[in-house]
Amino acid sequence: MEVDITMKGFETIKGYLFNLIIYTDEQRRSEYFHNLVHAFIEKYPCRVIFIRIDDTFKGDHLETSRVDSAAVGTPCDQLVITASPSQVDRVPVMILPRLVPDLPIYLVWGQNPTSENTILMQLKSLSSRLVYDSECAKDLQDFSKKMLSMIEKMKIDYMDVDWAEISGWRDVITQTFLSAEKFALLKRCKHLLIKFNKVDDQFIKHFATEAIYLQGWLAGQLGWEYQSIKYDDDTITIHYKNGEIDLEVVLQPQERPTLIQGKIFEVEWATVENLSVTLSLAEIQSKVMVYISTPEKCNLPFSLPFSDIQKGFNAMKEIFYFRTSDHYCNMLRVLSTIPWMKK
Q: What is the pLDDT of residue 267?
A: 98
Residue with the larger pLDDT of the pair 307 and 137: 137
Amino acid letter for position 247: L
Cα torsion angle, 156, 160, 165, 167, sign: negative
Q: Assess whether pLDDT exceeds 80 at residue 316.
A: no
State how far the Cα of 322 lies from the Cα of 268, in Å rounded to an integer.
28
Pairing type for strands 62-67 and 18-24 reads unpaired
Lowest mean pLDDT among 2-6, 74-78, 159-163, 317-321: 2-6
Residue with the larger pLDDT of the pair 162 and 72: 162
Q: Which residues pair with 80 in a beta bridge?
A: 50, 65
What is the percent of the chain where pLDDT is above 90? 55
> What mean pLDDT is reported for the chain?
87
> pLDDT tens, 87-99?
888 899 889 999 9
> pLDDT tens, 249-291?
999 999 988 888 889 999 999 999 999 999 999 977 689 999 9
> pLDDT tens, 176-201?
999 999 999 999 999 999 999 998 76
Q: What is the pLDDT of residue 71?
A: 54
Q: What is the pLDDT of residue 163?
A: 94
Q: Whose CA is closest to 3, among 57, 55, 77?
A: 57
Q: Assess whether pLDDT exceeds 50 at residue 9.
A: no
> pLDDT tens, 122-148?
999 999 999 998 888 889 999 999 999
Q: What is the DSSP string of 7-19?
A: STT-PPPTT--EE
Domains of the chain: 18-132 (3.40.50), 163-314 (3.30.360)
Residue with the larger pLDDT of the pair 280 and 9: 280
Cβ-Cβ contacts under 8 Å for 338 (sequence gap 6 or more): 141, 226, 229, 238
Confidence of residue 17 (pLDDT cuts 50, 70, 90): confident
Q: What is the pLDDT of residue 333?
A: 98
> pLDDT tens, 218-242?
999 999 999 999 999 999 999 999 9
φ/ψ (deg, to 5) at 106 = -100, 125
Residue with the larger pLDDT of the pair 131 and 342: 131
Q: What is the DSSP string of 229-267?
A: EEEETTEEEEEEEETTEEEEEEEEEE--TTS-TT-EEEE
Q: What is the pLDDT of residue 1?
A: 46
Confidence of residue 2 (pLDDT cuts 50, 70, 90): very low
- Whether the full predicted model's pTM is greater than 0.85, yes or no, is yes
State how far the Cα of 196 lies from the Cα of 100, in Å rounded to an integer.
41
Q: How far apart are the first and last CA of the chain?
A: 36
State how far the Cα of 248 lies from the Cα of 238, in Å rounded to an integer.
6
Order of strands, sheet of 189-197, starting from the edge strand that comes earlier in the sequence = 225-232, 235-242, 245-254, 189-197, 264-271, 276-282, 287-293, 302-305
State how far the Cα of 81 lies from the Cα of 77, in Å rounded to an integer.
13
